[in-house]
Amino acid sequence: MKLEYNGSEQVPLSKPAVWEFINDPQKVASCLPDVQQVTVHDPKNFDALVSIGLGPVRGKFKFKITLEPQEGGNRMNVRISGGGFGSVVDLLAGADLKDNGDNTTTLDWSGAATMRGPIATVGGRVLDSQAQKLIAGTFANVKTRMAGQ
Amino acid sequence: MFPASFEYVRAHSSDEAFAHLQQHGSDARVLAGGQSLIPAMRYRLARPAVLVDINPIKEFSYLREENGFLVIGATTRDAQLEFAPFIKDRYSLITAVSAVVADPIVRHMGTVVGSICHNDPAGDWTATALAMRAVMVVRGPNGTRQVPIDQFLVDSYTTAVNEGEMALEVRIPIPDAHTQGSYQKIERKVGDYATCAAAVQLAMNADGTIRQAGIAITASGPIAMRVAAAESMLVGQRPTLELLKAAAAEAPKIASPNADQRGSSEYKKDMTRVLVGRGLKQALERLGVTA
Amino acid sequence: MNEVNVSMKINGKTVTGSVESRVLLAHFIREQGGLTGTHVGCDSSSCGVCTVLLDGYTPVKSCTMYAVMADGHEITTVESLAVGGKLHPMQQAFWDQHGLQCGYCTPGMMLSSIALLKQNPNPTEHEIREGLSGNLCRCTGYNNIVKAVQQAAQVMNQPELAAAADD
Amino acid sequence: MTDIAQGSPEIVTEQPAKFAMGKSMKRKEDPRFLQGKGNYIDDINLKGQLYMALVHSPYPHANIRGIDSSEAMKIPGAVAVVTSKELNAYNVGWLPTFHGLDKQMVLADGKVLYQYQEVAAVYAETREAAYDMIELVEVDYEPLEVVNNPFKAMKDDVLLRPDREAKTNHIYNWNVGDQGATDAALATSDHVVKQHVVFPRVHAAPLEPCGCIAEFDVMGRLQFYVTSQAPHVYRTALFLVLGIPEDKIRVISPDLGGGFGNKVPVYPGYVCAIAGALVLQRPVKWIETRTENLTSSFARDYHMDIEIGATKEGKLTALKVNTVADHGAFDAAADPSKYPAGMFGIVSGSYDFPVAYANLDAYFTNKQPGGVAYRCSFRVTEASYLIERAMDIVADELKMDPTELRRKNFIQKEQFPYKSPLNFTYDSGDYEHTMDVALEKIGYKQLLEEQAEKRARGELMGIGISTFTEVTGAGPSKHFDILGIKMFDGAEIRIHPSGSGIIRTGTKSQGQGHETTWAQIVAEELGLDPQNFLVEEGDTDTAPYGLGTYASRSTPVAGGALALAARKIREKARKIAAHVLEVSEHDLEWKDYAFHVMGAPGKTITMKEVAFAAYTNPGDNEPGLEATLYYDPPNMVFPHGTYVAVVDVDRDTGETKVRRFLAVDDAGTIINPMIVEGQIHGGLTEGFAIAFMQEIAYDEAGNNLATNFTDYLIPTSLESPHWETAATCTPSPHHPIGAKSVGESPNVGSPAAFVNAVIDALSPLGVRHIDMPLTREKVWAAIRTAENAVAAD
């Protein structure tokens, strides 16, 4: 099943500071909900072990994450693929950075996730709203963590 | 398929169960009927490290009326309600719902409290509890507390029962002689989750006006939902066909069902209207009132 | 390994074993009990071919119960129905009415039927269909199962009929 | 004869009374099933056996960059992990498909082509450990673009099978009939009705999943216990795949918990179990999960365009069908090699079309392979559904009663044997009679009156008719083979001195009751008691060669072999009888189930007496009394029937209630009415499920949405209608006992009756067609669309 999400966050930081944050694998990983373990391979590639509760589905998902900063520092794409429970999720998320001129930055984000395997077929009945919360939670964390810097 | 390995602990008393849950925290799950949990474990979609079996707790299995409430214990099976003569005589909504939860075999193990705690988006008992204005009794570190059902149901699979806590019973106000209900459910086949369902209970005043209305829909959003606008529209009024139609039309306004193999969002929304309407009509028929 | 000691009475005989806590009751009955009339047909508690009776006449899906949950309880399986070579009236009725074809659902279906008649000794066709709706059959289309339960109900309500059938 | 079923079936045949046949004898196999003593695959355990489980791909289309089993091997009890690399080293990485036009991966070889495809096999000391292992086998996938329907496949943008010589997703084209004449006739017809009709992807889903145990015994001989409807075909397939000669292979198919075609294919798990047993030198057991069962094969998935020409008086002029077939990742259809689209040519149905043409193109997609069966292997269901659905659309267009259109165009009983424009020679039938019996029994006139009243009140009541003809009994060896093996069947009968006996065939019952009906056929031919025959099937060491039980072929082929083998015995018995009675065998007459000396009343000998003499007093004759016979049928058989469904549709919810359903079947000579009726009940229930509930749907990401019984819906007793049945009898002129077949008929004939009934109910709203399954939502949507159209006017 293919799920699409989008949202927007106002971050109380300058655009360069936001850009720096989202280019740091360690920092990005820390925004994933219930992250258990992070292994950074290089500045663009890292693995994260995340504990996930999607309705009745509870367990650990292993994600491979690739940061793809776009030229000009206005957009970051993130590729996330991983799995658990014999299932896989491929997620392509992107965020556009807009300098609000008042030392705050608007983060317009959108993502499209494709889920495959039992989690999509057995758990599909309830996945959409749960996944929505998870993704929204991640970006909300981005805002909170940045604000906390 | 075969579940992942887990540690099994048996509780013989409420204290023992509570102690296990406190000890193991989020690793533990309460095992009551297990009719949702065990299939999820067989698919390895659920893999609790510890199962705390409360089935051996004799004092958890009861179904009785006290102080104006029907109280249902934590291990009381759906089938106990289905076959209890006093339920059949006086609780038309419970009688109706207890015959369509899951399937007849599953109902012999599945529990009412467990089902409400599971808080599946398509739960039958959650909708029924809303319509009957039930109260949940939860045991926490500071003793037991009563949580009205509206506050108990937080989100899909999430309730007011916190980590390390457990629900002990559900308390349902006893309907009086002028109260009747109806459960309307569309399912693709016996045993399937509801495509859409509506629980309705109406209480009448002697003057023919509606004293109280309980209306809830399920499989229509993240959790079962009270159609509060419909309820307030009815209370104090004499039932007319126009009024029932208007009340039923409130249901799709709050419904936000997911499209799935059971139907599109539009279909399910429209079914909330149809089923609430049918439920209201049937409850009135049972009351001997013609709208 | 999370092993647990489990002991239960199956068809009146005590069966004991040390098994992993995740072992399903159906597998305990089949493997520790050596009774293979209890089948497994799905992973989702949908098909009912694993149905057994718990503590008398409570039908349960033995693949949706851990064996350890039945510790100290009594289980009745299809193997106990015929006594001394004489078929139970339900078995006889399934035979007489051609209520089975491949036989895979039959043990669970008969046990559910027996439990149903315990609750409701004179069910209508609709009540039989409702009562057996937790057990799938892929061969018979249910018509003849309904007829079998009707025959069994009649015989079980009038034991003299069963006796006469022996003559 | 004793032991006639107490619950006499509703079916009363028109055939004359006989000795053992035509009687509702209770089933001889039942006592073991009733007492939980059936012997199914999972009931068999071999000493020292390992448990196998399979790793499946979550991706529908991906390259495999690597497989790492090191973590899996750390599980206590882990024994081995096998991938395509190991299989290829033994040259068993790929399997030939049954009709020989393709090959199929055993384990994903470099890439996966459908979701849940087998990627690795794990072997462990316990079942639980095996399932712990499969979670830890790390497969590195590189996802590829998914082709989830044949219309996308035909663009050839994404090549799914680079392993094949032809670099296209197109598998084959098949056509039959006269295209030019058909186009010409359509061009000059008063009416031409066109409709696109989809027969969705469905699954046979027997309650017992598939499974096997493989063991190489101390003599190096493969003992292979497996859920197989065709054990001999398996043995030959294993010879072809493994190169082990047949004397070193014993295939044993134990009691089967249903099959319906699902237990025809040779599944990758079987090969992995054998490979494991060979390499690890331990018995290996593998039992499918329900998900594995539902994702390893399928039936149907035909996208059909039909055109029918008719005169304004309602005489049919031409039939044209164009089909796009979705075969999934491999062309694993179990069709005869000369018939890649099976018997789809039966699409002209019961009607006398002067000309017809059918064309079909098959494509690969990223979906599970198969195309095998679901109470009909050979595409008869698709064809029958299409023509019967289309006949109703034609009737609607011509404003004719659907029964009248059919009556006007039936092949007449004098026309048999009837050569159809699509190259079948129908053996016999009396379609009008069967339809009249049905209309009378259901009370068609009264139903029409009731419907008129209800329509006036705005209620939606529908009556649906299907007057189908099917083709079964493959088949004559000049046309039909599986893997090159001609589709004959063998029968062996041995009569013991007591007049009892043993019957062996190459078929394999999955609930059809062969242990009873085979005895009835032989008993009828020999005048012996059917209770005293043991019927043995399923063991290739003892059973004569035969192609197995599917496609409604057991009675037409093996049943014929049995009758002829019995007659062979009778001829030998005649010699012994002559010796005992001290007359010439030419003086003997077989009459009333005994030998009589002609012209000497009272001088008779029964077969029971002859049997004893065969062992005690054979004279100069060869002692013993047994026969083996292989039967190569001269033609197929063509059962037919009329089905009527009566439905009420709920305007608000779209729910259909099947109020009545009558099946009148003509299966030729009936061996056991009780069993025939049971077959019909079961097949109707499957047809009902297909019409209203079942579909293996895929989402755009290629996820299979029907992977277990919570989503692939099997009707319970509550949804299933109460079935009514009746029978007419037009014996097959060429079959030794005049029998046709019945196992598939209800599943072939009923979907159209259900759908026709629902569309009839909706016809006042202008609804013309809805594709199956007719879910509540689809019906609701059709009603809403129609109402909105009216409101907009």
The number of residues in chain A equals 149
Would you write out chain B's pLDDT as a tens digit for each of its 291 residues? 899 999 999 999 999 999 999 999 888 999 999 999 999 999 988 889 999 999 999 999 999 999 999 999 999 999 999 999 999 999 999 999 999 999 999 999 999 999 999 999 999 999 999 999 999 999 999 999 999 999 999 999 999 999 999 999 999 999 999 999 999 999 999 999 999 999 999 999 999 999 999 999 999 999 999 999 999 999 999 999 999 999 999 999 999 998 889 999 999 999 999 999 999 999 999 999 988
Residues D476 and D492: their CA atoms lie apart, in Å, by: 20
Domain with CATH 3.30.43.10 in chain B: 7-53
Q: Are A65 and A25 in contact (CB under 8 A)?
A: yes
At a CB cut-off of 8 Å and minimum separation 6, what does D726 contact? D10, D11, D12, D437, D438, D441, D662, D663, D664, D665
CB contact, 8 Å: C1 with chain B? yes
Residues D430 and D518 in one domain: no
Give residue limits of the domains in chain A: 2-147
Q: Indicate if the pLDDT at residue D5 is higher than 80.
A: no
Give the per-residue SS3 of B125-166. HHHHHHHCCCEEEEEECCEEEEEEHHHHEEECCEECCCCCCE
Q: Which tens digits make up the pLDDT trace of A30-80? A: 888 888 899 999 999 999 998 877 666 677 888 899 999 998 889 999 998
Considering only residues 114 to 133 of chain B, which have any Cβ-Cβ distance to chain A shorter than 8 Å? 118, 120-122
Pairwise CB contact (< 8 Å): D775 & B189: no
Q: Indicate if the pLDDT at residue D65 is higher than 80.
A: yes
Q: Indicate if the pLDDT at residue C162 is higher than 70.
A: no
At a CB cut-off of 8 Å and minimum separation 6, what does D601 contact? none
Mean of pLDDT over chain C: 95
Per cent of chain B over pLDDT 90 is: 95
Amino acid code (one letter) for D185: A
Residues B260 and D429: their CA atoms lie apart, in Å, by: 45
Architecture of domain B7-53: 2-Layer Sandwich (3.30)
Cβ-Cβ contacts under 8 Å, D774 against chain B: none
Q: What's CA C131's distance to the chain center, in Å?
A: 13
At a CB cut-off of 8 Å and minimum separation 6, what does D399 contact? none
Residue B220: per-residue pLDDT = 97
Predicted structure pTM score: 0.96
Number of C-alpha atoms within 13 angstroms, CB side, residue D351? 31
Tell me which residue of C156, C3, C6 sits closest to C81, measured CA to CA: C156
Q: Indicate if the pLDDT at residue D540 is higher than 90.
A: yes
Q: Are A69 and A54 in contact (CB under 8 A)?
A: no
Amino acid code (one letter) for B206: A
CB burial string A33-56: b at 16+ within 10 A, e below: eebeebeeeeeeebbbbbbbbbbb
Residues D87 and D81: their CA atoms lie apart, in Å, by: 11
Superfamily of the domain at A2-147: START domain (3.30.530.20)
Residue C165: per-residue pLDDT = 56
Residue D1: per-residue pLDDT = 41
What SS3 state is found at D763? helix
Cβ-Cβ contacts under 8 Å, B2 against chain D: 127-128, 131
CB contact, 8 Å: B128 with chain C? no
CB contact, 8 Å: B6 with chain D? no
Residue D62 belongs to a domain: yes
Q: Which tens digits make up the pLDDT trace of B77-92? A: 999 999 999 999 999 9
The tokens describing D751, both together, are: 């979907």
At a CB cut-off of 8 Å and minimum separation 6, what does B94 contact? B70, B81, B87, B128, B132, B172, B181
The tokens describing D16, both together, are: 């004359």
- Residue D192: how many other CB atoms lie within 10 Å: 18
Q: Which tens digits make up the pLDDT trace of C116-148? A: 999 999 999 999 999 999 999 999 999 999 999
Confidence of residue C11 (pLDDT cuts 50, 70, 90): very high
**Distance, in angstroms, between D751 CA and closest chain A CA?**
27
Q: Are C155 and C162 in contact (CB under 8 A)?
A: yes
List, as one string, the DSSP characters of D512-547.
S-HHHHHHHHHHHHHT--GGGEEEE-SBTTTSPPB-
At a CB cut-off of 8 Å and minimum separation 6, what does D224 contact? D212, D213, D214, D215, D234, D238, D249, D250, D251, D252, D270, D274
Cβ-Cβ contacts under 8 Å, A121 against chain D: 703-705, 707-708, 711
As annotated, the active-site residues of D are 229, 375-376, 744
What is the residue range of D348's domain?
299-474+635-792
CATH of the structural domain B61-173, one choice from 3.40.50.300, 3.30.465.10, 3.30.2180.10, 2.60.40.3880: 3.30.465.10
Mutate to test the interface with A, among B45, B155, B158, B268 (most CBs of A within 10 A): B45
Superfamily of the domain at B179-287: CO dehydrogenase flavoprotein, C-terminal domain (3.30.390.50)
User: Position of tokens 């033995």?
Assistant: C62
Residues D535 and D564 in one domain: yes
Residues D416 and D528 in one domain: no
Residues D242 and D245: their CA atoms lie apart, in Å, by: 9
- Residue D165: how many other CB atoms lie within 10 Å: 6
Residue D87 belongs to a domain: yes
Cβ-Cβ contacts under 8 Å, C133 against chain B: 103-104, 190-191
Question: What ipTM, to 2 d.p.?
Answer: 0.96
Q: Indicate if the pLDDT at residue A124 is higher than 80.
A: no
**Distance, in angstroms, between A123 CA and closest chain B CA?**
8
Q: Which tens digits make up the pLDDT trace of D74-103? A: 999 999 999 999 999 999 999 988 877 899
Q: What is the chain B residue with the closest CA to A127?
A: B258
Confidence of residue D10 (pLDDT cuts 50, 70, 90): confident
Confidence of residue A123 (pLDDT cuts 50, 70, 90): low
Cβ-Cβ contacts under 8 Å, D58 against chain A: 83, 86-88, 116-118
The tokens describing D226, both together, are: 């497996």
Q: What is the chain C residue with the closest CA to D746?
A: C141
CB contact, 8 Å: B80 with chain C? no
Q: Which tens digits make up the pLDDT trace of D610-628? A: 999 999 999 999 999 999 9
Q: Mean pLDDT lowest for which of C37-51, C149-163, D121-135, D264-278?
A: C149-163
- Per 3-state DSSP, chain A is made up of helix, strand and coil in percentages (nearest 5) of 30, 50, 20
CB contact, 8 Å: B157 with chain A? yes
Confidence of residue C161 (pLDDT cuts 50, 70, 90): low
**Cross-strand bridge partners of residue B137:** B146, B169
Pairwise CB contact (< 8 Å): B45 & A124: no
Cβ-Cβ contacts under 8 Å, D291 against chain A: 118
**Distance, in angstroms, between D227 CA and closest chain C CA?**
13
Give the per-residue SS3 of C44-64. CCCCCCCEEEECCCEEEECCC
Q: Which tens digits make up the pLDDT trace of D755-769? A: 999 999 999 999 999
Tell me which residue of D563, D608, D610, D561 sits closest to D585, measured CA to CA: D610
**Cross-strand bridge partners of residue B212:** B203
Considering only residues 410 to 449 of chain D, which have any Cβ-Cβ distance to chain A shorter than 8 Å? none
Residues C16 and C34: their CA atoms lie apart, in Å, by: 12
Q: Indicate if the pLDDT at residue D272 is higher than 90.
A: yes
**Cross-strand bridge partners of residue D714:** none
Q: Are D770 and D647 in contact (CB under 8 A)?
A: no
Q: pLDDT: is A51 or D207 the higher one?
A: D207
The tokens describing D783, both together, are: 């009603």
DSSP class of C86: B
Pairwise CB contact (< 8 Å): A122 & B44: no
Residues C109 and C101: their CA atoms lie apart, in Å, by: 12
Considering only residues 50 to 69 of chain C, which have any Cβ-Cβ distance to chain D shorter than 8 Å? none
Task: Name all chains with 3 or more CB-CB pairs below 8 Å to chain B.
Answer: A, C, D
Amino acid code (one letter) for B99: A
Residues D343 and D452 in one domain: yes
Pairwise CB contact (< 8 Å): A120 & D703: yes
At a CB cut-off of 8 Å and minimum separation 6, what does B165 contact? B21, B138, B139, B140, B141
**Which CATH number goes with the domain that contains D567?**
3.30.365.10
CB contact, 8 Å: A83 with chain D? yes
Residue D6 belongs to a domain: no
User: Position of tokens 């720096």?
Assistant: A20
Per cent of chain D over pLDDT 90 is: 91
User: Position of tokens 């409701």?
Assistant: C120
Mean of pLDDT over chain A: 85
Cβ-Cβ contacts under 8 Å, D705 against chain B: 261
Residues C106 and D36: their CA atoms lie apart, in Å, by: 8
Q: Indicate if the pLDDT at residue D192 is higher than 80.
A: yes
Residues D589 and D640 in one domain: no
Residue C124: per-residue pLDDT = 98
Q: What is the chain C residue with the closest CA to B192?
A: C46
Superfamily of the domain at C3-78: Beta-grasp domain (3.10.20.30)
**Cross-strand bridge partners of residue B169:** B73, B137
Residues D333 and D331: their CA atoms lie apart, in Å, by: 6
Pairwise CB contact (< 8 Å): A58 & B46: yes
Task: Name all chains with 3 or more CB-CB pairs below 8 Å to chain C.
Answer: B, D
Mean of pLDDT over chain D: 95
Number of C-alpha atoms within 13 angstroms, CB side, residue D596? 10
The region that residue B53 occupies, defined by phi over 0 for left and psi between -120 and 50 for alpha, beta otherwise, is beta
Residues D219 and D432: their CA atoms lie apart, in Å, by: 61
Q: Mean pLDDT lowest for which of C113-122, D359-368, D784-793?
A: D784-793
Pairwise CB contact (< 8 Å): B188 & D135: no
Q: Choose among B45, B118, B122: nearest Cβ to A57.
A: B45
Q: Are C87 and C97 in contact (CB under 8 A)?
A: no
Pairwise CB contact (< 8 Å): A116 & D60: yes
Considering only residues 74 to 103 of chain C, which have any Cβ-Cβ distance to chain D shorter than 8 Å? 77-79, 81-82, 87, 91, 94-98, 100-103
Cβ-Cβ contacts under 8 Å, D704 against chain A: 121
Residues D274 and D289: their CA atoms lie apart, in Å, by: 19
**Distance, in angstroms, between B16 CA and closest chain A CA?**
25
Residues D649 and D775 in one domain: yes
Pairwise CB contact (< 8 Å): D7 & C35: no
Pairwise CB contact (< 8 Å): A56 & B45: yes
Domain with CATH 3.30.465.10 in chain B: 61-173
Q: Which tens digits make up the pLDDT trace of C74-89? A: 999 999 999 999 999 9
Mutate to test the interface with B, among C61, C126, C129, C136 (most CBs of B within 10 A): C61
Q: Indicate if the pLDDT at residue D17 is higher than 90.
A: no
- Residue D248: how many other CB atoms lie within 10 Å: 15
Give the per-residue SS3 of D656-717. EEEEEEEEEEECECCCCHHHHHHHHHHHHHHHHHHHHCCCCCECCCCCECCCCCCCCCCCCC
What SS3 state is found at B210? strand
Residues B29 and B22: their CA atoms lie apart, in Å, by: 11
The tokens describing D754, both together, are: 């259900």
**Cross-strand bridge partners of residue B52:** B9, B30
Cβ-Cβ contacts under 8 Å, D132 against chain B: 4-5
Q: Indicate if the pLDDT at residue D268 is higher than 80.
A: yes
Domain with CATH 3.30.390.50 in chain B: 179-287
Amino acid code (one letter) for D655: E
Q: Which tens digits make up the pLDDT trace of D662-709? A: 999 999 999 999 999 999 999 999 999 999 999 999 998 899 999 999
Architecture of domain C89-166: Orthogonal Bundle (1.10)
Q: pLDDT: is A12 or D321 the higher one?
A: D321
- Residue D345: how many other CB atoms lie within 10 Å: 24
Domain with CATH 1.10.150.120 in chain C: 89-166
DSSP class of B260: B
